[in-house]
Amino acid sequence: MKAIIHGKTILPDKEENFTIRRGLVLLFDENIRDILTEEEFAALPQGSVNETIDADGCYVSPGFLNVHIHGCVGADTMDDDPEAIHKMQLFQAKTGVTSFLPTTMTYDFKTLDRAFTHVREAMERHDGARVLGCHMEGPFISPAKKGAQAEKNIAKANFAKIAPYKDIVRIITVAPEKLHDDGRFIADCLKNNIVVSLGHTAADYDTARKAIETYGASHITHLFNAMTGLHQRRPGVVGAALDTEANCELIVDNVHIHPAVQRLVYQLKKDHLILITDSLRACGLGDGPSELGGQKVFVKGTLATLEDGTIAGSVLCMNDGLRIFRENTNAPIEEVISMVTKTPAQELHLYDTLGSLSIGKKADITIFDESFHIKHTLVEGREVHPIK
């Protein structure tokens, strides 16, 4: 058994709200076995613990979940290369992420099939951050709000097209105004444990709200980006997102969302926010040319754009996003952490095993300092960063 000592531990209370506790020791192997006071730990029989990690005053947190990421360090989910997602797994661990959903682009189904095959392979690989399945962003979206997606590959929604992949698709992004089926597509997804997200959509408020409250869509893909905005007489998809209990993704790189808007959304949606990176293969590589969905991308600083200037994903790392969001909102660290642990785990119906430091759950643990520098990342008790 292993132990983490001298940390500020982020734990759920009886109401599952996260709190910070000092003077506790976390005992674990593949799972979290016990949480003791320092006095109780000192009283354990000699030999009970064979490895100790000294958190040295840093935060001890549940491992982060990233539910929307296309790529990093030169690799992309769409690459026809089994090593691509493996590279992503290793790099995500460096950013405190212990589980993630490699995210596909709007492509033809022959190309998507190859990507899904590599996702399945990665789900069996125990190296770096865990792959939980995939987030399918398109091709059932609106040309009017395609963003950095390729219009030629946009298709009409058809559940039969994704049925062969229902074991790995955990979230699918769709434009609800393009469904025209009285909720059947969404119902089929929900029956197969697939979260339906609204995104890349030109829907009006009523259409978006009906998709959420009547049909069961529960997620919004990168709120504000590639959707109808908030207007006093036309609330749009943003209005429906803010006016319901849908979980909302935010790309918190200060490029996609202004800090003031982050503050407003935090006040309205703090219990239904999921912070994401939406990063592309250029993440972790610095300035220069790159690629997304077969299109040229140019990166300068924190900005990634297509040739026509359209923002094309981000180069954000998760730990940097948490730091930026906290600086912008002054939200308590424990609330920020819940947005990348508890909230996504609950939505994916995984909170019984992931998303909090609770006895019996997987020992997915991230240790970080006040500036969100990652000191240790553990997946099922194995240290995946730094690699020993």
Based on the fold, state whether residues 225 and 171 are members of the same structural domain. yes
DSSP 8-state secondary structure symbol assigned to residue 54? E
Domain count, the chain: 2
Q: Which residues partner with 75 through β-bridges?
A: 72
pTM: 0.95
Alpha carbon of 186 to those of 4, 48, 173, 192: distances in Å?
43, 50, 11, 10
Based on the fold, state whether residues 165 and 48 are members of the same structural domain. no
In 81-215, where do the E strands start and end? Answer: 97-104, 130-131, 134-137, 169-174, 195-198
Based on the fold, state whether residues 44 and 73 are members of the same structural domain. no
Based on the fold, state whether residues 31 and 157 are members of the same structural domain. no
Mean pLDDT score of the chain, rounded to an integer?
95
In angstroms, the CA 352 to CA 85 distance is: 26
How large is the average pLDDT for residues 5-15? 97
Q: What is the CATH number of the domain that holds 53?
A: 2.30.40.10
Catalytic residue among 278, 287, 352, 369: 278
Based on the fold, state whether residues 144 and 216 are members of the same structural domain. yes
Closest CA to 257 of 272, 238, 244, 240: 238
In angstroms, the CA 277 to CA 272 distance is: 17
Residue range(s) defining the domain that contains residue 81: 64-347
Based on the fold, state whether residues 296 and 372 are members of the same structural domain. no
pLDDT confidence of residue 387: 75
Q: What is the CATH number of the domain that holds 241?
A: 3.20.20.140
Based on the fold, state whether residues 189 and 323 are members of the same structural domain. yes
Q: How many CB atoms neighbour CB 19 within 10 A?
A: 12
Of residues 287 and 112, more confidently modeled: 112
Give 29-88 pLDDT, tens digit per residue. 999 999 999 999 999 998 899 999 999 999 999 999 999 999 999 999 999 998 999 999
Give 136-180 pLDDT, tens digit per residue. 999 999 999 998 888 999 999 999 999 999 999 999 999 999 999
pLDDT bracket for residue 388 (50, 70, 90): low
* CB contact burial 288-303 (16+ within 10 A = b; e otherwise): eebbbbebebbbeeeb
Q: At what angle do helices 318-329 and 259-269 cross, to 10 degrees?
A: 80
Based on the fold, state whether residues 41 and 117 are members of the same structural domain. no
pLDDT confidence of residue 109: 94
pLDDT confidence of residue 82: 86
pLDDT confidence of residue 90: 97
Based on the fold, state whether residues 8 and 110 are members of the same structural domain. no
pLDDT beyond 80 at 292: no
Give 293-332 pLDDT, tens digit per residue. 777 888 888 888 888 888 877 899 999 999 999 999 999 9
pLDDT bracket for residue 344 (50, 70, 90): very high
In angstroms, the CA 196 to CA 220 distance is: 8
Q: Which two tokens stand for residue 301?
A: 């600083």
Based on the fold, state whether residues 201 and 342 are members of the same structural domain. yes
Based on the fold, state whether residues 148 and 229 are members of the same structural domain. yes
In angstroms, the CA 281 to CA 290 distance is: 7
pLDDT confidence of residue 340: 98
Active-site annotation holds for 278: yes
pLDDT confidence of residue 39: 95
Based on the fold, state whether residues 72 and 187 are members of the same structural domain. yes
pLDDT confidence of residue 294: 75
Give 198-254 pLDDT, tens digit per residue. 999 999 999 999 999 999 999 999 999 999 999 999 999 999 999 999 999 999 999
